Amino acid sequence: MNSSIIIPDISPYELPRICADLPVIGGRYKTRPEDFRVDELPHTTWSGTGDYLYLQVEKRKMGTPALLQHLQSVLQVPFRSIRIAGRKDQRAVTSQWISVRDGEISKVKKVEEKSLRPGQSIKILDTDRHHSPMTFGVHGGNRFHIIIRKLSSSPQVWQKAQMIAEALKNTGIPNYFGEQRLRGDYAALGKEILLDVYEGVPATQARFLMSSYQAQLFNRCLVYRIEQGYWNTVLEGDWLRELTVEQTPRMVQCTQLHLERWQQEYDELAYLITGPMFGKSVSLARGLPGCWEQALLDQEEIALGEFYNKEFGFPRGSRRSIRLPVIDLALTKDSDDNSLHLDFTLPPGGYATIVLREFGVTHATTT
C-alpha cells in the first residue's frame, strides 16, 4: 500500500464546488414538478423502418421503473423488449425516446388512457421506427429547464448568479455522481455484493448497488485530483476521452512527448480527462494519476480482478470524464414571482444537481 497517498472518503452532499470563491444564491428547486424539466436529446435520427417501435414519451411525477412497468402492461410485451438510453427524475416533467421490440402502434393510444396515480401523467409526443434498440447511456445529452424559487429579494442575488454562470461557461463542472446514485449505504452494500458478502438481492438492484460503489470511488478520485490542483491539467499517463455522442469514443493515453498537444485539446473541450469506473477490464492511468488510482484500490483492499461478481458478471469497468461542459447556459430573471430560470444542456451522464450545487440551490424537500 502506498502510505504517502491517502484518498479521503467524502459524502455526496459535501462535494467541493469549483466556484468556491464565489458566493452562492440559495433558493430551492423542485418546489413543483413543472419547475424541473428534462428533455433527452437523441444522438441520431431514426430510420423510419425496422422491428423497433420508438416512442417519445413525456411523463410527470413518475419514476423510470414505474413508466417502464406501465408500458409493459399496456403494450403487452416482455419487459426485456423495452429499452431506454437513461433514467429520468421522478419529481419532474421529463421526455425521452424509448424503443419497444415488436411494439404495435395500434396499442400506443392506450398508454395515455390507462389510469395513473394522482398527479401523474404520460403523453406520447411522437412515434417512429428503427432497425436497432436504444442503448443505455447513448444519447445526445439532456436539456434542462429549472426554476429556482424562494430566493432572497436582494438585487445581489442576480449579480451572484450571473458571476457563477459565467464561471461555469468557462470551466464546466466536475462530473461528480450526484446523491441520486449514492444515497444512504448504497455504496457499502454494493461493495459487499461485489465481494459476495451480501447475498439474496435481485439482479437489477444488485447491479445498481455495485455501480454505486463504482461511483463513490470515482468521486473520491476526482475530489482528490481537484484538491491537488490538477483538475484542469493534463498529466502524463492520463487517459483522455473524445467528447462525442458516438457509442465508442476514441480513447488516448497521454505521453510526455505530446503533453502540450493534449492540454490544448482538453482546453478546447475536444478531449476530456477521465477517471476510473473500477472494474475487471478497466485500464488504469499511468504516472501520477495512476498512483492515485492504485492507492485508492489499496486503501479499499480490493484488486481489479475482484471487481467481478460471479452471479451477475458485473462490473467490467470503464473510464468516465472528470469534467463536463455546461452547454448553452442561460439565466432569466422573473421579477413577478422572484424566481430564476436556468436553462442548460449536459452531455450524457451529467447530473443537473451538480450544476445547481455550484449556485448553492437545494432541493425543496431539504430541511
Structure-block grid coordinates of residue 316? 467490467
Q: Which of 9, 21, 51, 89 is catalytic?
A: 89
Strand positions, DSSP E, 65-118: 82-84, 93-101
Distance (Å) of CA 138 to CA 42, 97, 168, 249: 8, 11, 24, 11
DSSP string, 198-215: S----HHHHHHHHHHHHH
Q: Verify whether residue 337 is a known catalytic residue.
A: no
| ∠ CA 212-361-160, rounded to 5° | 135
Strand positions, DSSP E, 30-152: 36-40, 52-60, 82-84, 93-101, 121-130, 142-148
The helix (H) or strand (E) run that includes residue 251 is strand 251-253
Rg (CA), the chain: 21
Distance, in Å, from the CA atom of 195 to the CA atom of 210, rounded to the nearest integer, reads 10
Distance, in Å, from the CA atom of 72 to the CA atom of 100, rounded to the nearest integer, reads 9
* Side chain identity, residue 23: P
Structure-block grid coordinates of residue 82? 423495452
The residues annotated as belonging to the active site are: 89
